[in-house]
Chains A and B, each alone.
Chain A
């Protein structure tokens, strides 16, 4: 059956989804490329995420308690199904390492002299400890981290209210529509299509109804935070938000209350650190579950050490100047994400209407291949 023996509750799933969406966006707002219309982009992304949530709920609702590794084989056939799963695995590893690299770049701001490899190893060790301790631990820690993050988000927004200029939101038109559409397509790819990773967590929830509610709540939570984050960034920076690499940190640095200026940025830094950890851990956990389920391992813990080595090696080759990744993003990452996150699940849902009642435990014996 499922490799993972631990179970989480629906609320914990909601918090994990919220953390995943908040994570990358709070750090590097993808909607900021659109300038002052960034909030429209975020809103559209949120609606797209709700649609995705509906698709994932219906897909996993047809196979309750079965991991996607198994039902992909049912839906797509043996060979194609395994190919789909492997490509998802590659997607998750890539997303984990890109997310890791983003947080690395951010940490490097505060401590420029520290060599990159040290921070990579430290953070990778923490993530491996999280994977070792299991899903329940990760879920509970995520709940704490999300509560802390939302509090710090609200605090920094409230403190900056006096500097916000709502007129900067205003012209609902733009003379640079090219950038607006680019930004929209980016947002659809990353971060919202990365929600596909929760297909692997849905069977791990206590019961399927709770999972559906949890996913919906999580998407609502995450998208609303994303929307408000891009909204508040625009209120402070206006069109200049396109130039900011880390809008949340620049936002926090602009807060000055009273004669004694307050450095609220430390709370924002810590929040981003925590959420970065959660985001990376969730991706790596999903990738581990993928592989472990595919080979029917007894436990996912044996994969942790090789994963550690791979992550450290590849992340150290990624550039610290994350703007360099935008070329890759524009040309193929966004399409890859869209296919993995949207197209394949939609095909899966459509196909699941035609697959007759083949629910139940997946075929464990690989020797009996399905005849096409």
Chain B
């Protein structure tokens, strides 16, 4: 009985097991049949259009161009496709060739760069919907697919979220072809492999996997490909969706897959032995595997002298900790462990808190949520009014609330400090915020002992995370000594001789330093 019910339910499945078989016309030689099919399919969309031609000597053969207005370069079509086709003199050259009519036209007449032949109608439609032009010739089954795309894309400019002080000012755009071109420009090695695949039933989004085949470990590439084939999805719009689908730990608050908008950053990651995934339609390129310490590595680190940049990196690590722990520390100290305060500070804080009606934990939660609202609002408000919101927010919280006695001044300082420190390490901003709230609740519950438990659980969790087979806390946690040079401090470039063992099979880099000076002095002495 139950089984019968289950079977019935299965047959009424809401999501189909596979694509419904499209109603396709069989390949025909008749141009009219093809045109009729197109007209019936795209009756409601006038931008999918056709243009009939008369080609061949004497204009005897009918042909038709099938394209989408707005996605094709009409000028190029006219010059490179239509004009040679309608010039009768050129047909004399191809009459003697043994090739079929379509092939002859493709090889001798057309001035297009990309030419393909295709029989199946649904493939032709797919290509045309992506911007190609199809040339149907009456009497031939094959159609020619020409690439004269003119897609709308923006200029290459530096991404807003990842600015550097001294580095290239280029950023990825939404078109996957341009992005792959940018990568090739940076890595000119013939070992750079760019494999294309498609994901998404409705959107047919193109995905490109980029890696250096002599460096990367084959297991990682195989794993990436396996995961990309392991799901079926209706639409893939952003690379964030792809992250969720292929990530090791989609529930985790720590990012296990990195994304970046900068070609130089992605290129250096590929050179370490990682795999980059470029998704059409979004400028954010994913790189796997991703380690925790990469969140603190920024391209401008490698541009300035290493001593200062080591200091800056330590500062970044410190500000990550500040953004998580400032508010819990403050609440813990004032509510549980008052003996930790020096005398004068204790007096000041006690005096400041006397006017506040709430306990420290409630005050902290109220202010923290208010700050989150402020942050979220300032992301959405268009530019002109954005400044006003910032000022209002600062004034409201800073001055009025403190004066009214709803919150205390030290708490405002603690929250603002942690919020500002939050934005120093951009990929971990969400993780830091969530951790801050969790620790705040733990501290409110049990003081610093609760915080200790929270820290232990977080460390346990982080050490158990894996990213595509590589331990998440990698150079620190299973300690890999030759990789420690780029974690907390940044050692000079000639010290980092080895590629990371976790993802590279060819480990020796070509990094060494010539000592020019000694040779020069030797010459001078002679």
Contact = CB atoms under 8 A, between A and B. Distances in A.
B473 interface: yes
Contacts of A130: 456, 460
B336 interface: yes
Contact of A141 (B460, B471, B478): B460
A143 B452 contact: no
Interface stretch (B37-45, B279-287, B399-407, B443-451): B443-451
A213 to B, nearest CB: 16
Size bracket of the B interface? 20 to 34
A206 to B, nearest CB: 11
Nearest to A137: B464
Interface stretch (B49-57, B337-345, B366-374): B337-345
B460 A137 contact: yes
B342 A107 contact: no
Contacts of B450: 122
B295 interface: no
Contact of B448 (A119, A138, A144, A266): A266
A110 interface: yes
B501 to A, nearest CB: 14
B431 interface: no
B337 A266 contact: yes
A140 B452 contact: no
A250 interface: no
Interface stretch (A38-46, A159-167, A269-277): A269-277
B231 interface: no
Contacts of A261: 342
A173 interface: no
B112 interface: no
B15 interface: no
Nearest to A12: B478
Interface string B348-370: 00000000000000000000000
B464 A133 contact: yes
B490 to A, nearest CB: 21
Interface string A92-108: 00000000000000010
A186 interface: no
B311 interface: no
Contact of B447 (A110, A133, A138): A110
Contacts of B479: 11, 143
A78 B48 CA distance: 82
B453 A141 contact: no
Nearest to A272: B452
B180 interface: no
A274 B452 contact: yes
A248 B253 CA distance: 37
B463 A136 contact: yes
B477 interface: yes
A122 B442 CA distance: 10
Interface in A5-43: 9, 11
A260 interface: yes
Q: Which of B336, B461, B464, B473 has most A Cβ within 10 Å?
A: B464
A47 B67 CA distance: 86
Contacts of B447: 110-111
Given A126-B457, A129-B457, A263-B339, A110 B463 contact: no
A263 B333 CA distance: 12
A141 B463 contact: yes
B340 A263 contact: yes
A151 B339 CA distance: 23
A291 to B, nearest CB: 22
Contacts of B478: 9, 140
Interface string B260-296: 0000000000000000000000000000000000000
B186 interface: no
A122 B450 CA distance: 8
Contacts of B337: 110, 266
A118 B456 CA distance: 18
Nearest to B340: A263
A225 B478 CA distance: 24
A209 to B, nearest CB: 18
B449 A107 contact: yes
Contact of B464 (A136, A144, A273): A136
A138 B463 CA distance: 8
12 contacts: A110-B337, A118-B446, A119-B446, A119-B449, A122-B453, A136-B463, A137-B461, A137-B463, A140-B473, A140-B477, A144-B477, A263-B340
Sorted nearest first, the 10 A-B pairs with minimum C-beta distance are A140-B463, A137-B464, A133-B464, A273-B452, A140-B477, A137-B463, A141-B459, A126-B453, A263-B340, A137-B460
Interface of A: 9, 11, 107, 110-111, 114, 118-119, 122-123, 126, 129-130, 133-134, 136-138, 140-141, 143-145, 260-261, 263, 266, 269-270, 273-274, 277
Given A133-B461, A137-B460, 12 more contacts: A110-B337, A114-B446, A118-B446, A126-B453, A130-B456, A134-B464, A136-B463, A136-B471, A137-B461, A138-B460, A140-B473, A261-B342
Interface of B: 336-337, 339-340, 342, 446-450, 452-453, 456-457, 459-461, 463-464, 471, 473, 477-479
